[in-house]
Amino acid sequence: MNSKLQTLSSKIYAISPTNIFSKDFSTKLTQVLESGVQIIQLRCKKEKISSQEKIKLKNLVSLIHRSNGICILNDHFSLVEAINADGLHIGQSDIDPALARRLLPSKIIGISCYQFVELAYLAKKAHLDYVSFGAFDKSSTKKDVSIIKKSEYKKINQFKELPKVIIGGIKNSNFDQSKLSKFDMIAVSSGIFNEKNIPKAIKGLITNTNILEKD
């Protein structure tokens, strides 16, 4: 495991909406960081990032670092070094995991494995740092997702070679301790950034994850 991941005291892994260049995003991000979340994934689905947007990305990374947070960039592997992000998250159809590791030898790299534990073992062979599984529930950010079947949780729970993240529609109202207890990090997007009271939402999530740790 990358040493930076070992420093996390909170299990909440915040995933941004895709409108990270909007006027109010940095305000929301500040609230998230001040509420105790330490790892943030910045998502941007634009294929081409302008020079001005690169500057904005660097400013967001600096904001995260000033709060001693960890910044993971989604998909844009060529920008990780340029904006001083701490790592990269990729999907199965993005850059080859082994190539990503060669290009970013010292960065945190995670990969989406959906509900297929076999993909997680391949991630271990590629020397990645964590794997994510989903979807936990229906999500407002991704419409066409497959919910993890009950039978698949047993296989996923048995995978212990890398830290595991669970993702997909998680919020305080559907927080299921029996399903989430075996995961190292709980990824939340709309359950944080779409909430009217972000600090309150995060406080609830942290309370729920603390209960997981006690169990």
**Tens digit of pLDDT for each residue in 196-215?**
999 999 999 999 998 877 65
Using DSSP's 3-state secondary structure scheme, residue 212 falls into helix
The residues that bridge with 187 in the sheet, in sequence order, are 13
Are the C-beta atoms of residues 172 and 195 closer than 8 Å to each other? Answer: no
Hunting for tokens 């949780």 — which residue is that?
153
What mean pLDDT is reported for the chain?
A: 94
| Phi-psi region at 142: left, alpha or beta (left = phi > 0; alpha = psi -120 to 50) | beta
- Whole-angstrom Cα distance, residue 186 to residue 63? 22
With cut-offs at 50, 70 and 90, classify the pLDDT of residue 143. Answer: low
pLDDT, residue 4, reads: 84
pLDDT, residue 1, reads: 62
**Is it the case that residue 145 has pLDDT exceeding 70?**
yes
Q: Which CATH class is domain 5-214?
A: alpha beta
Q: Specify the pTM.
A: 0.95
pLDDT, average across residues 128-148: 87
Which of 8, 16, 31 shows the shortest CA–CA distance to 72?
16
With cut-offs at 50, 70 and 90, classify the pLDDT of residue 144. Answer: confident
pLDDT, residue 105, reads: 97
**Is it the case that residue 9 has pLDDT exceeding 90?**
no
Are the C-beta atoms of residues 206 and 10 closer than 8 Å to each other? Answer: yes
Residue 128 C-alpha from the chain's centroid: 14
For 87-102, the pLDDT digits (tens) are 999 999 999 999 999 9
The residues that bridge with 42 in the sheet, in sequence order, are 73
pLDDT, residue 210, reads: 86
Name which of 4-8, 62-66, 67-71 the model is least confident about.
4-8
More confident residue, 1 or 198: 198
More confident residue, 146 or 133: 133
pLDDT, residue 44, reads: 92
**Is it the case that residue 37 has pLDDT exceeding 80?**
yes
With cut-offs at 50, 70 and 90, classify the pLDDT of residue 138. Answer: confident
The radius of gyration computed from the CA coordinates of the chain, to the nearest angstrom, equals 16
pLDDT, average across residues 156-175: 96
Q: Of all residues in the chain, what percent carry a pLDDT higher than 70? A: 97
